[in-house]
């Protein structure tokens, strides 16, 4: 987006003075240092988080591929074979398919 489209690109000296006077009237002289202190702490936290993120990205991209653990291979699936059930009521004989009569 273009910054000038919102009118923020043309701030000059008199405009900033008017904005600072409005902030002074709204928040008062005692609250302004607390406001900027909180703003500074927030900026420091953001900077630290950004640096930590950049550090993690750098270490992830420079990591040696040989040092990564090998990929886990999936076990091969075997098809169970039909076995003859033993010890059933038929006296342990194998079950054979019978032809229809």
pLDDT, tens only, 30-70: 888 898 899 999 999 999 999 999 999 998 888 755 555 55
- 24 pLDDT tier (thresholds 50, 70, 90): confident
| Joined tokens for residue 93 | 């004989």
Is 13 contained in some domain? Answer: no
Is 55 contained in some domain? Answer: yes
Q: Is the dihedral of CA 74, 76, 82, 86 positive or negative?
A: negative
Split into its structural domains, the chain has a count of 1
Is 46 contained in some domain? Answer: yes
Is 37 contained in some domain? Answer: yes
Is 81 contained in some domain? Answer: no
CA distances (Å), origin 13, targets 16, 40, 44, 59: 5, 23, 28, 45
Range of the domain at 50: 28-62
- Predicted pLDDT of residue 52: 96
Is 57 contained in some domain? Answer: yes
Is 35 contained in some domain? Answer: yes
CA distances (Å), origin 62, targets 53, 56, 66, 78: 14, 10, 12, 41
């Amino acid at each position: 987006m273009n910054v000038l489209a919102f009118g923020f690109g043309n701030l000059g000296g008199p405009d900033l003075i008017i904005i600072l006077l409005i902030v002074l009237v709204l928040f008062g002289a005692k609250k302004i240092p607390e406001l900027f202190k909180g703003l500074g702490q927030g900026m420091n936290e953001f900077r630290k988080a950004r640096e930590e993120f950049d550090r993690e990205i750098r270490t992830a991209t420079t990591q040696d591929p040989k040092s990564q653990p090998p990929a886990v291979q999936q076990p091969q699936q075997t098809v169970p074979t039909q076995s003859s059930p033993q010890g059933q009521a038929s006296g342990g004989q194998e079950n054979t398919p019978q032809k229809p009569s």
